[in-house]
Amino acid sequence: MVDQAGISALGIAIPDTAIKLSDLAEIRQVDSAKYQIGLECDEMAICTDSIDTVELATKAAQKALSRYHGSIDDIGLIVVATETAKDMSRPFSSWIQEKLNLKGALRSYEVKHACLGGTIAIKQASECVLSGAASGKAALVIATDQSLYTPKSPAEPTQGAGAVAFIIDEHAAIARIEKQSWSWSEPVYDFWRPIGHNYPLVDGPLSLECYKKAALKCFTQMMATQQYSAKALFKHFKAICFHSPFSKMVYKAFAELCTSFDFSENETKAFYHSHVEPFLKFNKKIGNAYTASLWISVAHALHDLKTNEHIAAFSYGSGFGAELLNFTKMSDSEDIGWVEDIQDHIAHRRTYLSQEAYIALRGC
C-alpha cells in the first residue's frame, strides 16, 4: 500500500480560435445580454480543421510531461476521458500514444461518462497508485473535449473546447487527492448522444434539475461524514470548484446548496465571490469543455492557493453521475505555469471567428 496519490504535473491546451458570444447573439438574433448575463458566457473556444481533440489532448500531455520531474518512461497507465469519441472500439488513448510515441509495459484505455469521465479517470488512476498496483509508476490522465450543439438550439451559446492533462503519482508534488469522495448516480435521459448522431439530444430543464440535485446529494454526504457544519465547510475549503457547462449553472447550484444550509442571500453571494467565482474566470472565456471543464477551474485554484490549503471539486456527468472530490495543495515551489499558458493564450487569442466564418463552419 502507498500512503498518498496526487497530481505531480499539469498541462492545459485550448484552441486558438474562438467566437465572442456578442457575435453569436447577433447571428442568432438574440439579445446578447441573454448569453452574457443570463448564462454568464463571454467567449467560446472552437476546434477548426487545424486542431481537434486529439491535438488538444496531445498538447496538454506534452505540457504536463515537460513539467514533470520524471520522464515518459515512468508512465505505466494512460487514460483519456472524452465524450468526443473517435471510434466505438479503438480507445482514444491509442491516438495520443501514437503522437507521444508511448508504448510498452503500460495500460491504455478510454473512459466515457459524459462530463464525469475525467473525474472517474483521475479517481481510478489515484486508486491504482494507492493500492500499489502501479508499482511506483505514474499515470497520464487526460480530459479532452469539444462541445458542439445543433446550430440555433438553446445550448449553442454554451459550446467550448479544451484539454487538461495530469500526471498522477505517489509523490503528489502539486496536490494530494484525498482518498474519500462522495458520489451520486441516477439513470436519466437529460443529455445523451445516440450512436450516429452528430449532436447531443438535450432536455435542458431536466439537466439543470439533475445537476442541482446531484450537488445537494454529494455535499450533504460530505458534510455528514466529515461532520462539517455549512460554515465549517467554507472555512476548510479555500476554493470550491464545479463542473461548469456555463457559469450561471454553477451559481444556480451553489445558491440552492446555500439555501439548504439556511444561508442568507448576502452570505450566499459573499461565499460565491470568495470561494467559487474567482476560479471560473477561464471557463467564461473557453466555454463548456465537457470532461475538461471542472479541471480548468481546479487548475486555476491549484495555481492560486497556498500550501496545505484545500479545494473541493464537484463533478457532474449527464446520464447522470456525480462525484465530490477534495484536494490538498502540497507545494508552492512546483512549476505552475499552466495558468500563465492560458492567460497568455486568451490575451493573445489568434483568431476570433467573424459572423460569416462561424456560419460557414456550422453550415447555417
Burial 141-153 (b: 16+ CB within 10 A, else e): bbbbbbbbbbeee
Smallest gap from Cβ 30 to ligand CAA, in A, equals: 8
Smallest gap from Cβ 201 to ligand CAA, in A, equals: 10
* 197 contacts ligand CAA (rule: CB under 6 A): no
Whichever of 34 and 99 has its CB closer to ligand CAA, that residue is 34
* 243 contacts ligand CAA (rule: CB under 6 A): yes
Lookup: cell for 210: 439533475
DSSP-derived secondary structure letter, 354: P
3-state secondary structure of 44: strand
* 155 contacts ligand CAA (rule: CB under 6 A): yes
Smallest gap from Cβ 153 to ligand CAA, in A, equals: 7
* 136 contacts ligand CAA (rule: CB under 6 A): no
Smallest gap from Cβ 162 to ligand CAA, in A, equals: 13
Lookup: cell for 85: 469519441
Smallest gap from Cβ 209 to ligand CAA, in A, equals: 9
Measured at CB, which residue is nearest to ligand CAA?
38
User: DSSP secondary structure string, 269-323?
Assistant: HHHIIIIIGGGGHHHHHHB--GGGHHHHHHHHHHHHSPTT-EEEEEEEETTTEEE
* 204 contacts ligand CAA (rule: CB under 6 A): yes
Among the listed residues 41, 79, 168, 249, the single contact to ligand CAA using CB under 6 A: 249
For residue 270, what are the contacts with CB-CB under 8 A and spacing of at least 6?
none
Residue 25, Cβ density class (10 Å: 0-12 exposed, 13-18 middle, ≥19 buried): middle
For residue 126, what are the contacts with CB-CB under 8 A and spacing of at least 6?
5, 6, 168, 177
* 216 contacts ligand CAA (rule: CB under 6 A): no
3-state secondary structure of 56: helix
β-bridge mates for residue 108, sequence order:
78
Lookup: cell for 311: 479545494
Smallest gap from Cβ 107 to ligand CAA, in A, equals: 28
The piece of 33-41, 231-239, 277-285, 350-358 that touches ligand CAA (CB under 6 A) is 33-41
Site for ligand CAA in 300-319 (CB under 6 A): 316, 318
The answer to whether the Cα torsion of 93, 95, 97, 99 is positive or negative is negative
Q: How far is CA 45 from CA 86, 96, 284, 335, in A?
A: 20, 21, 10, 25
Among the listed residues 28, 34, 193, 217, the single contact to ligand CAA using CB under 6 A: 34
Smallest gap from Cβ 301 to ligand CAA, in A, equals: 19
* 158 contacts ligand CAA (rule: CB under 6 A): yes
* 297 contacts ligand CAA (rule: CB under 6 A): no
* 290 contacts ligand CAA (rule: CB under 6 A): yes
* 132 contacts ligand CAA (rule: CB under 6 A): no
* 191 contacts ligand CAA (rule: CB under 6 A): yes
Smallest gap from Cβ 212 to ligand CAA, in A, equals: 9
Which residues are near ligand CAA by CB under 6 A? 31, 33-34, 37-39, 115, 154-155, 158, 191, 202, 204, 207-208, 211, 243, 245, 248-249, 288, 290, 316, 318
